[in-house]
Amino acid sequence: MEIREFAREKWPRQLLEIPQLPEKLWIRGAMPASGTKYLAVVGSRAMSRYGQEACESLIAGLAGYPISIVSGLALGADACAHKAALTAGLHTVSIPGSGLDDSVISPRTNFALAKDILAAGGALVSEQEPMHKPWLAEFPSRNRLMVGMSDAVLVVEAGPKSGTLITARLAADYNRDLLCIPHRIGDAHAFGPHLFLRLGAALVTEPLHILEALGIPPREAAERGAAPSDLEDTERMVWGILEEPKTRDEILRGAKGAASELLTALVALELRGLVKEEFGAWHRL
């Protein structure tokens, strides 16, 4: 897919508000439709299993909403966010620290991911010339574009020396909503999220919290108790059974089909943020 100069009149509106605007941007692929909200997702390159599961679950729950996931194509949280967006059918924008030519896209381990983003209708954006190889000192500059482009910034995790701390502070500088996932007390990855939560960042434990920050109302169908229109047959069956809270055994007894299929459907509904287990019973959200 060709590299072309990104015309300034087509930049996300909020990007034009930041200081130190880039002189020029390059793009491959396509930006999302007008009216789409942008959520930047940042976190550790050495991502924990908890952080990965939280990131995947929250982004899965945004499926079907006009949201584009913005991140930096790096290892760890960036790659997790892009992959989760692709799985959920969401648009995603990657801003690598390199130029956009195939020969320099970095890190090379995520080159296939960059191709997947383009194949799914997403975009790669950079202020670097197409053949530019990345330098470590340039990454904070790249991060300002991620934050500047976005309506809100989600911090998955960040240790005491993580570059994510710099990115999160940019959210305050640019007047963007900062959202943080809580962690277990004593977890090194909790340093950043817990620091910013103490300073007033928004706590995020479910997709609804992200929708609130982005000003997107939940689906009316879900609010009325109707099943979302894009459910598979088994998912729709499980959804119907959960008109009242049920234990897992009650779900299995009340539905037709193999237990493995029913449990898979239940997990799929949970990942989309449509159902949740509390005190041993599953219920709709």
Q: How many domains does the chain have?
A: 2
Can you tell me the distance from the alpha carbon of 191 to that of 183, in angstroms, rounded to the nearest whole number?
9
Q: Are 145 and 22 a contacting pair, CB within 8 Å?
A: yes
- 120 pLDDT band, cuts 50/70/90, is very high
- CATH code of the domain containing 53: 3.40.50.450
The answer on 14 and 94 residing in a single domain is yes
Can you tell me the distance from the alpha carbon of 44 to that of 158, in angstroms, rounded to the nearest whole number?
5
Give this prediction's pTM.
0.77
Domain boundary among 181, 214, 247: 214
Percentage of residues in the chain with pLDDT exceeding 90? 61
- CATH code of the domain containing 277: 1.10.10
Residues with Cβ within 8 Å of residue 279, at least 6 apart in sequence:
none
Residues with Cβ within 8 Å of residue 160, at least 6 apart in sequence:
188, 191, 192
pLDDT for 225 beyond 70: no
The number of residues in the chain equals: 285
Can you tell me the distance from the alpha carbon of 143 to that of 164, in angstroms, rounded to the nearest whole number?
9
Can you tell me the distance from the alpha carbon of 76 to that of 140, in angstroms, rounded to the nearest whole number?
17
pLDDT for 174 beyond 60: yes
- 104 pLDDT band, cuts 50/70/90, is very high
Residue matched to tokens 């009242």:
244
Min mean pLDDT across 8-17, 71-80, 212-221 is at 212-221
The answer on 126 and 171 residing in a single domain is yes
Find the helix packing angle between 164-173 and 191-198, rounded to 10°: 20
The answer on 159 and 268 residing in a single domain is no
**Average pLDDT score over residue span 142-163:** 91
The answer on 158 and 71 residing in a single domain is yes
Residue 210 has a pLDDT of: 96
Where on the phi/psi map is residue 34: left (φ > 0), alpha (ψ -120 to 50), or beta? beta
Domain boundary among 199, 214, 229: 214
175-224: pLDDT as tens digits: 999 999 999 988 889 999 999 999 999 999 999 999 999 999 887 544 45
The answer on 200 and 237 residing in a single domain is no
Can you tell me the distance from the alpha carbon of 160 to that of 191, in angstroms, rounded to the nearest whole number?
6
Residue 237: name the closest of 276, 219, 264, 208 by CA. Answer: 264
The answer on 258 and 121 residing in a single domain is no
- 138 pLDDT band, cuts 50/70/90, is low
Residue 62 has a pLDDT of: 95
The answer on 192 and 94 residing in a single domain is yes
pLDDT for 1 beyond 80: no
Residue matched to tokens 């999160």:
168
Domain around 53:
4-214
Residue 100: name the closest of 126, 73, 79 by CA. Answer: 126
pLDDT for 244 beyond 70: yes
The answer on 134 and 234 residing in a single domain is no
Domain boundary among 214, 246, 264: 214
Q: Distances from the Cα of 72 to the Cαs of 64, 142, 172, 183, 267, in angstroms?
A: 23, 8, 19, 23, 28
